[in-house]
C-alpha cells in the first residue's frame, strides 16, 4: 500500500482512507504533530531495523530463527567475533543476505521517500539517516545517510580494499582479498568499530540543525547513532518517536505508537495534501 493522498494541494483527502490502517490513538497523535511538521524548516529522521520489519526482515533484537536461533545478533555483528571465528560471522551474513535479497520496501519506506521529495519542493529539508544496511530506503527513492554501511558490499578485513562484485550468497566458504590475502568481510560497521566519518559528520549536522527529530523503528540502544536524538534535543529540536513498542527514552517529546508501515503513510498523507 502506498500513501493515499491527492497530488494537488487543496484537492482534499479522504481522511478515513488515509488513516484506515492506523490505531485510533496514533491518529490523534498524528493530528497533533501536523502543524509543527509543516512549519519545520529542517527535519532529521533516524531509522532502525523496525522500519524494515514489515518488509519481512527481522529486527536485531528479535529472537533469531532457524540455524541461528542460539545466537544473538550483537554477538555476531562484532569485530571480536570475526577475529575469533570468521567463518561463523561470514556464514551469518551470507544467510542474512539470502534472507534480505528478495525483500522490498514497504509503505513506510515509500511514504518517507515521497515526503522527502515533496518537502524539497516546499523549501523544507529532510535529512534521512539510517542504521539499516538493507538499502530499502534507496530502493524506495530516498536520499539517505548510511551510518552502519551496506549489506551488499564487501571489504578486506586487513587492507580495507572494497569489493563491489557479487558473491554467491549460498556459499559460506571464506574469501581472500586479491591484494593482501586477508579475509573478505561485509562492509558493515560492527560493534567495536568507528562509524564512517563523512556520514557521521553529516548526521551530526542534520541533528544539530533540525527543528524536529523523528526516530523510527529503533530501540535507541546502540551508540553513537542513539545519541543523535540527544544532540538534536540539546540544540532545541522537538523529538518524536514512531515505534511499535515505544522505548521510554527520556528525550522523546511525543510518541506515535504503532507499526511504521501504518503510521508513516497516514502521517505523510496528511502532511502533503
Q: Is the dihedral angle over the CA atoms 128, 129, 132, 138 positive or is it negative?
A: positive
CA distance 154 to 133: 12
Question: Contact, 225 vs 193, CB < 8 A?
Answer: no
Residue 44 CB, nearest approach to ligand OAD (Å) = 16
Q: Which of 5, 146, 148, 235 is an active site residue?
A: 148
Q: Which is nearer to ligand OAD, 125 or 227 (CB)?
A: 227
CA atoms within 13 A on the CB side of 208: 6
Q: Which is nearer to ligand OAD, 74 or 253 (CB)?
A: 74
CA atoms within 13 A on the CB side of 168: 6
Lay out the site mask for ligand OAD across 154-193 (x = CB under 6 A, - = otherwise): -----------------------------------xxx--
| Residue selected from 113, 260, 268, 271 as contacting ligand OAD according to rule CB under 6 A | 260
CA distance 112 to 257: 17
Question: Contact, 189 vs 149, CB < 8 A?
Answer: yes
Q: How far is CA 209 from CA 17, 115, 165, 203, in A?
A: 34, 19, 37, 10
Under rule CB under 6 A, residue 146 binds ligand OAD? no
Beta bridge partners of 46: 129, 215
Which residue's CB comes closest to ligand OAD?
Answer: 50
Q: Which is nearer to ligand OAD, 26 or 119 (CB)?
A: 26
Under rule CB under 6 A, residue 73 binds ligand OAD? yes
Under rule CB under 6 A, residue 50 binds ligand OAD? yes
Annotated catalytic residue 137: no
CA distance 220 to 216: 10
Q: Which of residues 98-117 bind ligand OAD (CB under 6 A)?
A: none
Residue 181 CB, nearest approach to ligand OAD (Å) = 26
CA distance 269 to 230: 28
Under rule CB under 6 A, residue 88 binds ligand OAD? no
| Residue selected from 4, 91, 114, 131 as contacting ligand OAD according to rule CB under 6 A | 131
CA distance 173 to 44: 40
Under rule CB under 6 A, residue 53 binds ligand OAD? yes
Under rule CB under 6 A, residue 6 binds ligand OAD? no
**3 state DSSP class of 91:** helix
Q: Which is nearer to ligand OAD, 6 or 78 (CB)?
A: 78
Question: Contact, 174 vs 184, CB < 8 A?
Answer: yes
Under rule CB under 6 A, residue 231 binds ligand OAD? no
| Residue selected from 74, 135, 204, 253 as contacting ligand OAD according to rule CB under 6 A | 74
Stretch that binds ligand OAD, among 9-17, 70-78, 80-88, 120-128 (CB under 6 A): 70-78
58: left (phi over 0), alpha (psi -120 to 50) or beta: beta
Task: Provide the annotated active-site residues.
Answer: 148
Contacts to ligand OAD by CB under 6 A: 48-50, 53-54, 59-61, 73-74, 77, 131, 148, 189-191, 217-219, 221-222, 243-245, 247, 259-260
Amino acid at each position: 500500500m502506498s500513501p493515499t493522498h491527492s497530488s494537488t494541494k487543496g484537492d482534499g483527502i479522504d481522511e478515513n482512507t488515509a488513516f484506515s490502517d492506523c490505531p485510533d490513538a496514533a491518529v490523534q497523535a498524528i493530528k497533533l504533530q501536523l502543524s509543527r511538521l509543516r512549519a519545520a524548516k529542517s527535519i532529521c529522521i533516524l531509522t532502525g531495523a523496525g522500519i524494515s520489519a514489515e518488509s519481512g526482515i527481522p529486527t536485531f533484537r528479535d529472537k533469531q530463527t532457524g540455524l541461528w536461533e542460539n545466537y544473538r545478533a550483537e554477538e555476531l555483528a562484532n569485530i571480536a567475533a570475526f577475529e575469533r571465528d570468521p567463518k561463523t560471522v561470514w556464514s551469518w551474513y551470507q544467510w542474512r543476505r539470502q534472507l534480505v535479497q528478495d525483500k522490498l520496501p514497504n509503505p513506510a519506506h515509500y511514504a518517507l521517500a515521497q515526503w522527502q521529495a515533496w518537502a524539497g519542493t516546499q523549501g523544507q529539508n529532510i535529512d534521512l539517516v539510517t542504521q539499516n544496511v538493507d538499502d530499502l530506503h534507496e530502493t524506495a527513492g530516498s536520499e539517505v545517510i548510511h551510518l552502519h554501511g551496506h549489506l551488499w558490499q564487501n571489504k578486506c578485513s586487513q587492507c580495507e580494499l572494497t569489493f563491489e562484485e557479487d558473491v554467491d550468497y549460498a556459499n559460506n566458504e571464506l574469501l581472500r582479498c586479491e591484494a593482501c590475502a586477508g579475509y573478505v568481510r561485509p562492509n558493515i560497521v560492527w560493534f567495536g568499530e568507528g562509524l564512517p566519518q563523512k556520514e557521521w559528520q553529516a548526521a551530526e549536522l542534520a541533528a544539530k540543525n533540525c527543528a524536529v527529530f523523528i526516530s523510527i523503528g529503533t530501540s535507541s540502544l546502540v551508540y553513537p547513532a542513539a545519541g543523535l536524538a540527544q544532540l538534536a534535543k540539546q540544540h532545541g529540536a522537538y523529538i518524536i518517536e514512531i515505534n511499535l513498542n515505544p522505548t521510554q527514552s527520556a528525550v522523546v517529546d511525543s510518541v506515535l505508537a504503532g507499526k511504521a508501515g501504518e503510521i508513516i503513510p497516514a502521517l505523510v498523507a496528511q502532511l502533503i495534501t
